[in-house]
Structure 1
Amino acid sequence: MRKLFLLALLSLAVWAGKSQNVQLHYDFGGALYDKDLDGRPVLTSTVEMFKPDKWGSTYFFVDMDYTSKGIASAYWEIARELSFWKAPFSVHVEYNGGLSNQSSFNNAYLGGLTYTFNTKDFTKGFTLTGMYKYIQKSEKPNNFQLTGTWYVHFAKNGLCTFSGFADWWREKNPHGNFIFLTEPQFWLNLNKFEKIDDKFKLSVGTEVELSHNFSFRNGFYAIPTLAIKWSFD
Structure 2
Amino acid sequence: MKKAYFLVLFVAISLVAAKAQNIQLHYDFGESRKLATATIEMFKPDKYGSTFFFVDMDFGGTNGTPVADFVGERTNNMNLAYFEIARGFKFWEAPIEMTVEYNGGFLRDASAGGYPLSTAYLAGPSYTMNSKDWSKVLTFKALYKQSVNVNNIEGFGYNNVQFTAVWVLNFFDNKFTATGFADWWTEKVPVNGAYIPGLNEETASSVFLTEPQFWYNFNKNFSLGSEIEISNNFALNKGWMVNPTVAAKYTF
TM-score bin, normalised by smaller chain: 0.7 to 0.9
1:119 is displaced (CA, Å) by 3.5
Please state whether the residue corresponding to 2:235 is helix, strand or coil: helix
Please state whether the residue corresponding to 2:117 is helix, strand or coil: coil
Report if aligned partners of 1:41, 1:66 keep a CA contact under 8 Å in 2: no
Please state whether the residue corresponding to 1:204 is helix, strand or coil: strand
Can you give the 5+ residue segments of structure 1 that lack an aligned partner in the other structure? 1-17, 192-197
Aligned pairs for 1:68-217 within 5 A: 68-102=75-109, 103-120=115-132, 122-137=134-149, 139-155=156-172, 157-173=173-189, 174=199, 175-191=203-219, 198=220, 201-217=221-237
Q: Distance in 2 between matches of 1:49 and 1:164?
A: 13
TM-score, normalised relative to structure 1: 0.79
Report if aligned partners of 2:37, 2:58 keep a CA contact under 8 Å in 1: yes
Aligned to 2:69: none
Deviation readout 1:175-199 (Å, 9 max, x if unpaired): 41210000011000111xxxxxx5x
Report if aligned partners of 1:57, 1:82 keep a CA contact under 8 Å in 2: yes
TM-score, normalised relative to structure 2: 0.73
1:72 is displaced (CA, Å) by 1.1
Report if aligned partners of 2:20, 2:40 keep a CA contact under 8 Å in 1: no
1:171 is displaced (CA, Å) by 1.0
Letter in structure 1 aligned against 2:206? F
Q: Single out whichever of 175-184 and 219-228 deviates more from structure 2.
A: 175-184
Alpha carbons of structure 1 residues 73 and 19: separation in structure 2 relative to 1, 3 Å: closer
* Higher relative contact order (Cα pairs below 8 Å, separated by 6+ residues): 1
Letter in structure 2 aligned against 1:178? S
Count of aligned pairs: 198
Please state whether the residue corresponding to 2:180 is helix, strand or coil: strand
1:140 is displaced (CA, Å) by 4.4
Deviation readout 1:62-94 (Å, 9 max, x if unpaired): 110001431111000111111111252100001
Give percent identity, aligned residues only: 48
Deviation readout 1:29-76 (Å, 9 max, x if unpaired): 1xxx2xxx2xx3510000123344432232221110001431111000
Letter in structure 2 aligned against 1:168? W
1:132 is displaced (CA, Å) by 0.3
Letter in structure 1 aligned against 2:145? K
Alpha carbons of structure 1 residues 86 and 140: separation in structure 2 relative to 1, 3 Å: same
Report if aligned partners of 1:133, 1:144 keep a CA contact under 8 Å in 2: yes
Report if aligned partners of 1:87, 1:116 keep a CA contact under 8 Å in 2: no
Alpha carbons of structure 1 residues 122 and 52: separation in structure 2 relative to 1, 3 Å: closer
Q: Single out whichever of 64-73 and 49-58 deviates more from structure 2.
A: 49-58
Q: Single out whichever of 98-107 and 126-135 deviates more from structure 2.
A: 98-107
Query: Of 31, 40, 54, which residue of structure 2 is paired with 1:47?
Result: 40
Can you give the 5+ residue segments of structure 2 that lack an aligned partner in the other structure? 1-18, 61-74, 110-114, 150-154, 190-198
Letter in structure 1 aligned against 2:229? E
Q: Distance in 2 between matches of 1:150 and 1:229?
A: 17
